[in-house]
Amino acid sequence: MGTEEAAAHWSASAALEMAVSAGRLRPGTSGWRRTAAQVTIEFPDSVYDDTTGSTWLQWVHTERLQRFADSRGPARARLADRLVNPVLVPGDADAVLAPMRWLLDHAADGAALTATGTLARPLVAEGCRPFDWLTLTGNPRSESDIVELWTLRDWAKQMAVVRRSSRQLLLSSAGRTVHAGGTTALWQATMGTLLGPSEAEAAAGEIALTLLLIGGPVDYRDLNTGVAQALAGEGWHGQRNREPITADQAARLLGDLRRRLRLLGLTTHERLGEPARLTPAGRAAAHTALRARALRPRDGGDDRRRGRPRRGPAMAVRRRRGAQFVVGRCQRAQFAVLCRIRQAADPVGALERRAA
C-alpha cells in the first residue's frame, strides 16, 4: 500500500467518525449498517485536491499505476502510459460477449445440471449451434466434450457470477448485478478476469498481453519463450527443481488465456502456423484486463492467505448502550475493493503533479 492509499484508508475512517458526530450515522438504530456502507462508498469520490478537483479514488489509481510502471522494466513503464484512462467498450462487444451472455441468460432462468454438476445435454447441444463449437464425436454428450464450453463455465466461476444449487446453475448476487447492468457491466466483469485464476497465470498472461499489445503479432513458440524469460527475470521458478520457468511451463500457464481469447474471438490466425494477432476488440479487451491488473489492490495478501482479516483504524464508537459497534473503521481490504469496483479516469493534472 502506498502513501496516498494509506492516507485514503485513514480518511475514510475519519469520514465515518464525522458521520457519527453529525448524527447521520447512529450505531444501533435501524439501518445504520446500510448508512455506514453508503458513507464509505461515497468517500472515494470526494474531493482530495482542491486545486485540481481530483478525488481520492483518482489519486489512489494514479499511485497504483505509478507503482505498476516502476515495478519491472521499460515495457511496463510504456504500457502504464496507455492505461491511464479506460478504453471505450468496442462497438462489437455484444457479439464478442455473446457466449458469456448466453450462459448468464440460462443461469438467470435456472440452467439444468446433471448429477455430476455439468450442464444438461440439451443445453450443451443448444450452445454448439449458434457458436459453431466443434466436438470430437460430432454428437456432444456433456460440456467436458467441448473445450469452449468448459472454458466458459470456468471463466464464469472465476468471475463469481454463477453458483450451483442442487441440480441448477443460478446467478449469484454479483451475477444478477452484472446481468442487469448491460453490455458495459458485462464487458468490465469479463475482461477484468481475462488473465486467469491464479497469480502465476495472471503474471504470465500480463506479460503475454503486453507483448501482443505493444510488440504486435507473436507466434506460439516465441510468445512462450518471451513470457518464460520475463517470468524468470522476475524471480519465478519451478516448485520442484527451483529452476527458472521454461517455455513449456509458460505454455501451460498461458493455456487458460489462449482458450479464452479464442472463445470470444479476440485473436485471429490468418493461416495455420502464422503468428496470432489481437483483433480490435482483442486490443480493447487486453487494455481492460491490464488496467484492472495494474489497479488491483496489493496489500493484505499474506494475512488473507492465513485467514486473518486486516485490522482497521481505531474504532470511533466502542460501546454504546451496552452493545459493541465497529463503526469508525474502514478496513484496508474493504477500501481496496471499493477502489477496484469504482471506475474513474486519472486526471492529467494529477499525473503531472505526481511527476513533479
Query: What CATH number is given to the structural domain containing 175?
Result: 1.10.10
User: How many other CB atoms are there within 10 angstroms of residue 347's CB atom?
Assistant: 20
Please check whether residue 176 lies inside any domain of the structure.
yes
Please check whether residue 268 lies inside any domain of the structure.
yes
Nearest to 291 by CA among 219, 198, 193, 220: 193
Q: Which three cell numbers stand for residue 124?
A: 450443451
Report, in this order, helix, strand and coil percent for the chain, each rounded to 5: 60, 10, 35
Beta bridge partners of 195: none
Please check whether residue 92 lies inside any domain of the structure.
no
User: How many other CB atoms are there within 10 angstroms of residue 28's CB atom?
Assistant: 12
Q: Which one of 156, 191, 226 terminates a domain?
A: 191
Backbone angles phi, psi at 80, to 5 degrees: -60, -35
What's the pLDDT at 72? 67
First to last CA, the chain: 21
Strands (E), 179-268: 267-268
- CA distances from residue 315 to 32, 107, 119, 287, 309 in whole angstroms, order as listed: 15, 41, 48, 40, 16
What's the pLDDT at 299? 53
Residues 180 and 113 in one domain: yes
Residues 257 and 327 in one domain: no
Residues 107 and 182 in one domain: yes
What's the pLDDT at 129? 83
What's the pLDDT at 271? 59
Q: Rounded to whole angstroms, how far apart are CA atoms 245 and 223?
A: 13
Residue type, 208: A
Residues 235 and 270 in one domain: yes
Q: Which one of 268, 292, 316 terminates a domain?
A: 292
180 dihedral zone (left: phi>0; alpha: psi -120 to 50; beta)? alpha
What's the pLDDT at 269? 66
Q: Rounded to whole angstroms, how far apart are CA atoms 163 and 161?
A: 7
What's the pLDDT at 288? 93
Residues 110 and 123 in one domain: yes
User: How many other CB atoms are there within 10 angstroms of residue 104's CB atom?
Assistant: 24
Please check whether residue 348 lies inside any domain of the structure.
yes
Q: Rounded to whole angstroms, how far apart are CA atoms 26 and 6?
A: 26
Residues 331 and 251 in one domain: no
What's the pLDDT at 196? 83
Q: Rounded to whole angstroms, how far apart are CA atoms 348 and 78?
A: 16
What's the pLDDT at 284? 94
Residues 287 and 300 in one domain: no
Q: Which one of 267, 292, 317 terminates a domain?
A: 292
Please check whether residue 93 lies inside any domain of the structure.
no
User: How many other CB atoms are there within 10 angstroms of residue 269's CB atom?
Assistant: 13
Q: Which three cell numbers stand for residue 102?
A: 448466453
Residues 208 and 288 in one domain: yes
Under DSSP, the state recorded for 143 is G
Residues 178 and 109 in one domain: yes
Under DSSP, the state recorded for 44 is G
Nearest to 290 by CA among 78, 91, 80: 80
Instruction: Show the domain range for 341.
Output: 3-87+296-355
Would you give per-residue pLDDT tens digits along the chain (356 residues)?
A: 788 888 888 888 889 999 999 999 888 889 899 999 899 889 988 888 888 888 888 888 888 888 887 776 666 777 777 788 888 999 999 999 999 999 999 999 999 999 888 899 888 888 888 888 876 666 777 888 888 999 999 999 999 999 999 899 999 999 999 999 999 999 999 999 999 888 889 989 998 998 888 877 888 888 899 899 888 887 887 777 778 888 999 999 999 999 999 999 999 865 556 788 899 999 999 999 999 888 888 654 433 333 333 333 333 333 333 223 333 333 444 444 444 434 333 333 333 333 33
Q: How many structural domains compose the chain?
A: 3
Cα dihedral: 34, 38, 41, 44 (round 10): -150
pTM above 0.95, yes or no: no
What's the pLDDT at 75? 66
